[in-house]
């Protein structure tokens, strides 16, 4: 697995459905079994010429598994923090997870994911979380924002494609910076050597 990705969010926001849609291309209308602990799945994908495998940890949303979820996001390169577009309390819970990540996993990129957008297509009045409020929050924490539907597939592939692309670009940037460091070291070698012979 190249990139460890963790899904966080209140229970019943649809994290497992998101993974099901992305990895298997299907949607199972409920009732869903609540995830206990975490479920793991890996998916290989292409970013340009490169192949990347996302290792996705779908964590339990129940507060009683909170301590366990912390184990799963350790070392994660990306976190998809989910909230239900029809439920404002789930967005408050998403903010809790963002704070956790900022405190304990500084190098983890955060992606905000509103779920169940198909319910809004049916009835706009069901929206419980204002898009502009979330966009402002996303800008504040430097996160990408996606509104998705596991039922229709809306923006699901785009979300994980963005996660993979950011991972590849960030890794390439790291390697480039490390290489530059090495180059500088090598250049200083002969320079020091010539100094010593003056």
pLDDT, tens only, 49-102: 999 999 999 998 888 878 888 888 999 999 999 999 999 999 999 999 999 999
pLDDT, residue 179, reads 63
pLDDT digits (tens, 9 = 90+) for 36-53: 778 999 999 999 999 999
Quote the strand ranges of 13-162, DSSP E. Answer: 38-47, 50-59, 78-84, 109-115, 144-147
Domain boundaries, the chain: 3-173
The owner of tokens 């609540």 is: 34
pLDDT band of 184, cuts 50, 70, 90: very low
Q: What is the DSSP letter of 170?
A: H
What's the whole-number mean pLDDT along residues 4-27? 96
pLDDT, residue 180, reads 57
Helix or strand or coil: residue 4? strand
Q: Evaluate if residue 33 carries a pLDDT over 90.
A: no
CB 43 within 8 Å of CB 1: no
- Range from 1-15, 44-58, 180-194 carrying the lowest mean pLDDT: 180-194
pLDDT, residue 181, reads 54
Instruction: Classify domain 3-173 by CATH number.
Output: 3.40.50.300
What's the whole-number mean pLDDT along residues 184-189? 42
Quote the strand ranges of the chain, DSSP E. Answer: 3-9, 38-47, 50-59, 78-84, 109-115, 144-147
pTM: 0.86
CB 9 within 8 Å of CB 82: yes
According to DSSP H, which parts of 74-155 are helical? 88-104, 117-122, 131-141
Q: How far is CA 67 from the centre of its chain?
A: 19
Q: What is the DSSP letter of 25?
A: S
pLDDT digits (tens, 9 = 90+) for 112-154: 999 999 999 999 999 999 999 999 999 999 999 999 999 999 9
Q: Which residues contact 108 (CB under 8 A, 6 or more apart)?
A: 6, 73, 76, 77, 78, 79, 101
- Is pLDDT larger for residue 169 or for residue 174? 169
Region of 37 (left: φ > 0; alpha: ψ -120 to 50; beta: rest) is: left
């Amino acid at each position: 697995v190249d990139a460890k990705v963790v899904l966080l969010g209140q229970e019943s926001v649809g994290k497992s459905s998101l993974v099901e849609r992305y990895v298997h291309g299907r949607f199972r209308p409920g009732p869903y079994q609540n995830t206990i602990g975490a479920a793991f799945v890996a998916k290989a994908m292409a970013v340009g010429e490169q192949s990347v495998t996302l290792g996705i940890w779908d964590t339990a949303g129940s507060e009683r598994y909170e301590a366990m979820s912390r184990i799963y996001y350790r070392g994660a390169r990306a976190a998809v923090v989910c909230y239900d577009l029809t439920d404002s309390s789930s967005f408050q819970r998403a903010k809790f997870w963002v704070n956790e990540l900022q405190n304990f996993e500084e190098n983890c990129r955060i992606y905000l994911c509103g779920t169940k957008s198909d319910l809004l297509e049916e009835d706009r009045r069901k929206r419980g979380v204002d898009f502009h409020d979330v966009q402002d929050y996303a800008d504040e924490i430097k996160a990408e924002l996606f509104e998705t539907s596991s039922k229709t597939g809306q923006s699901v592939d785009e979300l994980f494609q963005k996660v993979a692309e950011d991972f590849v670009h960030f890794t390439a940037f790291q390697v480039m910076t490390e290489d530059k460091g090495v180059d500088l070291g090598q250049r200083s070698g002969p320079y020091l050597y010539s100094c010593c012979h003056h």
